[in-house]
Amino acid sequence: MHFLLYGFQQDLKIEKESLSQYYSEYLKLNQIFASGENRYESILLNYGTQELKFTLGFLTNILKNVENKGFHIIDPVFDSVEHSGNFELSVFYGNRIIEKFSSDSPEDFLIRIYTLRRILNALLILDDRLFYLKYLLDFVEQVEAFLNSFPAMQKENLKNAMDFYQFMYIYALKLLSDEEKALGYLIKSYNIKKSMIQEKILPYPEENNIFQIINIVGSYLQIEDSFIALVLDIDDYIKEFVKQVEDLAQYGKRKPSVLQPYFQNPFKGYINQFLTNIYILGFEDEYYRIISVIPEIVSKDHRLIVKVNEILLKEPFKEKKLKEMKEEIQLAFNNFSSEKKENVLYVYYNACVSVFRDNIDEIKKLQEELKEHRKKLKDAFSLDVPMFRMLNILGKKEEAKKLAEETKKQALITGKKFLATAVDDYLNLEL
Residue 253: per-residue pLDDT:
93
* DSSP 8-state class, residue 153: -
Report how far residue 257's alpha carbon sits from residue 280's, in angstroms, rounded to the nearest whole number.
31
State yes or no: cis peptide before 256, omega within 30 of 0.
no
Helix (H, G, I), strand (E, B) or coil at 232: coil
Handedness of CA 388, 389, 391, 395 (dihedral sign): positive
What are the residue boundaries of the structural domains of the chain, listed by start?
1-198, 203-298, 301-430
Residue 120: per-residue pLDDT:
98
Task: Report pTM.
Answer: 0.83
Residue 345: per-residue pLDDT:
95
List helix spans (H) across 70-209: 74-82, 87-100, 106-126, 129-149, 154-170, 179-198
Residue 228: per-residue pLDDT:
66
Residue segments in the chain with a per-residue pLDDT below the cut of 50: none
Start-to-end Cα distance in the chain: 59
Integer CA distances (angstroms), 116 to 36, 106, 152, 164, in order: 20, 15, 22, 11
Residue 218: per-residue pLDDT:
87
Handedness of CA 140, 145, 148, 154 (dihedral sign): negative
List helix spans (H) across 2-105: 3-29, 31-34, 49-69, 74-82, 87-100
CA atoms within 13 A on the CB side of 90: 28
Report how far residue 392's alpha carbon sits from residue 400's, in angstroms, rounded to the nearest whole number.
5
Average pLDDT over the chain reads: 91
- Cα 395 from chain centroid? 40
Integer CA distances (angstroms), 295 to 246, 268, 327, 329, in order: 12, 12, 23, 20
Integer CA distances (angstroms), 82 to 75, 93, 275, in order: 10, 11, 29
Cα–Cα nearest to 339, from 297, 382, 310, 309: 382
Residue 33: per-residue pLDDT:
56
pLDDT digits (tens, 9 = 90+) for 35-45: 556 788 888 88
Cα–Cα nearest to 137, from 166, 167, 181, 162: 167
Contact between 271 and 278 (Cβ < 8 Å): no
pLDDT digits (tens, 9 = 90+) for 294-344: 888 888 998 898 899 889 888 788 999 999 999 999 999 988 999 899 999
